[in-house]
Amino acid sequence: MAKTTTSPYDVAEHLRTREDMAAYLEASIEEADGDAAFVAKALGDIARARGMAQMASDTGLPRESL
């Protein structure tokens, strides 16, 4: 059997616009099925994404370079 290799995935790297963030939060709320921790995790992802966007803006570097 062949080994499967994986790489880290961080959703915050893919949340670039307010629309992306809103859609992600909406989908998370729908999928949470009443699980507040699930929604809290999504909010944390969005907070990190906003921080990355601000840092990119402040430094003039693209998010991918951070």
Tell me how far apart the alpha carbons of residues 64 and 24 are, in angstroms, rounded to a whole number. 20
Number of structural domains (the chain) is 1
6 in a structural domain? no
The residue behind tokens 């402040």 is 58
* pLDDT of 57: 79
Residue 26 lies in a domain: yes
Question: 59 CB contacts (<8 Å, ≥6 apart)?
Answer: 66
| 42, 24 Cβ separation under 8 angstroms | yes
Does residue 51 form part of some domain? yes
19: domain range? 11-65
Residue 4: inside a domain: no
Q: Is residue 2 included in any domain, yes or no?
A: no
Is 5 within a domain? Answer: no
pTM: 0.75
pLDDT in tens, the chain (66 residues): 889 999 999 999 999 899 999 999 999 999 999 999 999 999 999 999 988 777 777 778 776 766
Residue 33 is predicted with a pLDDT of: 94
59 in any annotated domain: yes
